[in-house]
Amino acid sequence: MKGIIVFLILFTILVVFHEFGHYFFAKKMGILVREFAIGMGPKIFQHHAQNGTTFTIRILPLGGYVRLAGVEESELEAGQTVYVTLNDQGSIIQIDTRSDQNIDGLPLTVRKSDLSSDLFIEGDVFDNEADDLVTKTFNVDHDAYIVENDGTEVRIAPKDVQYNSAVWWKKLITNFAGPFNNIILAIVAFSISAFMMGGVQDLNTNKITIYDRNMPAAKAGIKSGDSIVSVDDVQTHDYKEIKKELDKDQKGRPVKVKVKRSSHYKTFIIKPKYSKTDGTGRYYIGISVWYRKSFQSQILYGFTETYANSVAILQTLGSFFTGGFSLDKIAGPVGIYSISSQAANSGVGVLVALCASLSISLAIANLLPIPGLDGGKILLNLIEAIRRKPIKQEHEVVVTLIGAAFLLMLIIVVTVHDIMKLF
């Protein structure tokens, strides 16, 4: 249960930050964000912001999404009965599409409507004076709301605030903003993890940390901050070399360790202690990597670790072309759940670092030029810039559906592969 909760929290944080990037920059670019949803499924809460966005919380804690005007519309069909609310000028300010007979508003049977360009609804309403149905045409207010079947109230999407009406570079910025936000999240999360874990690992120094005072190194007199300059007379310049020499003989024989403290040198003979800390059982003397604890180094760690992780992911993607495609290089939802469960038992600092790593993975994966992903949308934006005219919306929809089908198949294949690895 703990692993599931951690996975859902991590997944939701990553997706919400991603979607907030789209939301924030869409608003800056003049594109209406009709809804910002946290979670999926039926709505359990909604709030209308003054900027026209409806913020909702949905019952399933599985990420979230934003609905940009012009991407997904609520169309009225001929013959459909809706309940409309009018302002003092006789214009429609709310359209309720629910079928509940107890809804407040004027019942109207739609004949035709346009909620994008001309902003009107023509339909049949009951006229008390005529004591019969009459056909009337109502203007729809530019900022009118439409109530959907599940009770969600969102603004209509006039053409001037639609995604497709924006110039190509505004759409590109909006699409890039999601991955960009994930990169920002990674930088912040890595820095936070450094503070939480007491500093930044420095593998390039032979300074060490004592992590257990009951282990042989501490009992022999070695202290945190000491530099191990040699192991069994083999010089060691960094932690990797120290670990390499200590791991040479796993039979538990005594090792000679030469230490530098300030300007003084001292040699210790230490007998390693057997422990199953790593799950398999090894001999340890009780030292670990040195941590740089300055404020500057921990802040800088956010940037350097984000860069290092990005390079590693790009190298893995590159290996698909040089070393062949392999499902072992990809983790799906089940794989990420397994990693999250393990991290949940390693402390909050490790979980925050995992969140940062996953955020980078999400950013880079979304920037791949695959239809349906942000990278595919950005590619279409660039094509639009070269052609100097928008791509037809129906063509864009077809390309997006093809990409979505490909991604769905890939997720299914990867998920099956991850499940098989568990057995």
Q: Looking at residue 167, what is its pLDDT?
A: 94
Structural contact between residues 113 and 137, judged by C-beta atoms closer than 8 angstroms: no
Q: Looking at residue 326, what is its pLDDT?
A: 60
Q: Looking at residue 279, what is its pLDDT?
A: 59
Flag whether pLDDT at 22 surpasses 70: yes
Banded model confidence at residue 260, pLDDT cuts 50, 70, 90: very high
Same domain, 272 and 320: no
The answer to whether residue 223 sits within a structural domain is yes
Same domain, 273 and 213: yes
Tell me, what CATH number does 247's domain have? 2.30.42.10
Q: What is the pLDDT of residues 132-149, one digit of tens each?
A: 889 999 999 999 999 998
Banded model confidence at residue 171, pLDDT cuts 50, 70, 90: very high
Q: Looking at residue 4, what is its pLDDT?
A: 79
d(CA 346, CA 353): 11
Q: Which domain holds residue 416?
A: 295-421
Flag whether pLDDT at 250 surpasses 80: no
Same domain, 151 and 115: yes
Same domain, 287 and 325: no
Structural contact between residues 389 and 307, judged by C-beta atoms closer than 8 angstroms: no
Residue 396 is a catalytic residue: no
Domain-terminating residue out of 292, 320, 353: 292
The answer to whether residue 398 sits within a structural domain is yes
The answer to whether residue 24 sits within a structural domain is no
Chain CA centroid to CA 51, Å = 24
User: Nearest 5°: CA angle at 53, between 83 and 362?
Assistant: 130
Flag whether pLDDT at 112 surpasses 80: yes
Same domain, 288 and 383: no
> If you ran DSSP here, which 8-state letter would residue 64 be given?
E
Residue 420: CB partners within 8 Å, gap ≥ 6?
A: none
Residue 77 carries which side chain, given as an amino acid letter? E
Chain CA centroid to CA 25, Å = 16
Average pLDDT over residues 392-399: 72
Q: Is 73 exposed, middle or buried (0-12, 13-18, 19+ CB in 10 A)?
A: middle
d(CA 395, CA 371): 12
Domain-terminating residue out of 292, 321, 351: 292
Tell me the three state secondary structure of residue 411.
helix
Q: Looking at residue 282, what is its pLDDT?
A: 81
Min mean pLDDT across 44-53, 108-117, 258-267, 313-322 is at: 313-322
Same domain, 302 and 411: yes
Residue with tokens 């070695």: 222
Structural contact between residues 68 and 163, judged by C-beta atoms closer than 8 angstroms: yes
Look up residue 200 and give its two tokens: 């930044």
Same domain, 336 and 243: no
The answer to whether residue 167 sits within a structural domain is no
Q: What is the pLDDT of residues 336-390, one digit of tens each?
A: 666 666 666 667 888 898 899 989 989 998 998 888 889 999 999 999 999 888 7
Q: What is the pLDDT of residues 32-86, one digit of tens each?
A: 999 999 999 999 999 999 899 999 999 988 889 999 998 876 689 999 999 999 9
Higher local confidence (pLDDT), 397 or 228: 228
Residue of 265, 382, 394, 368 lying closest to 316 (CA atoms): 368
Banded model confidence at residue 422, pLDDT cuts 50, 70, 90: low
d(CA 153, CA 174): 24
Residue of 371, 349, 375, 350 lying closest to 362 (CA atoms): 375
Q: Are strands 200-202 and 153-155 parallel, antiparallel or unpaired?
A: unpaired
Give the count of domains, the chain: 3
Average pLDDT over residues 107-118: 94
Residue of 341, 245, 284, 251 lying closest to 9 (CA atoms): 341
Q: Looking at residue 367, what is its pLDDT?
A: 93
The answer to whether residue 181 sits within a structural domain is no
Phi, psi of 232 (to 5 degrees): 50, 45
Same domain, 319 and 266: no
Same domain, 322 and 393: yes
Which of 19, 35, 153, 305 is labelled catalytic?
19
Flag whether pLDDT at 206 surpasses 60: yes
d(CA 95, CA 86): 9
Average pLDDT over residues 236-250: 86
The answer to whether residue 413 sits within a structural domain is yes
Average pLDDT over residues 190-209: 89
Same domain, 349 and 328: yes
Min mean pLDDT across 147-156, 210-219, 388-397 is at: 388-397
What number of CA atoms fall less than 13 Å from residue 167's CA on the CB side?
A: 5
Angle between helices 348-366 and 333-344 (to 10 degrees): 160
Q: Looking at residue 157, what is its pLDDT?
A: 94
What number of CA atoms fall less than 13 Å from residue 178's CA on the CB side?
A: 28
Domain-terminating residue out of 128, 144, 161: 161
pLDDT above 70 as % of the chain: 88
The answer to whether residue 12 sits within a structural domain is no
Same domain, 314 and 405: yes
Q: Looking at residue 413, what is its pLDDT?
A: 67
Q: What is the pLDDT of residues 404-419, one digit of tens each?
A: 777 677 667 666 655 6
Phi, psi of 210 (to 5 degrees): -90, 120
Neighbours of 132 (CB within 10 A): 9
The answer to whether residue 64 sits within a structural domain is no
Neighbours of 100 (CB within 10 A): 9
Q: Looking at residue 199, what is its pLDDT?
A: 86
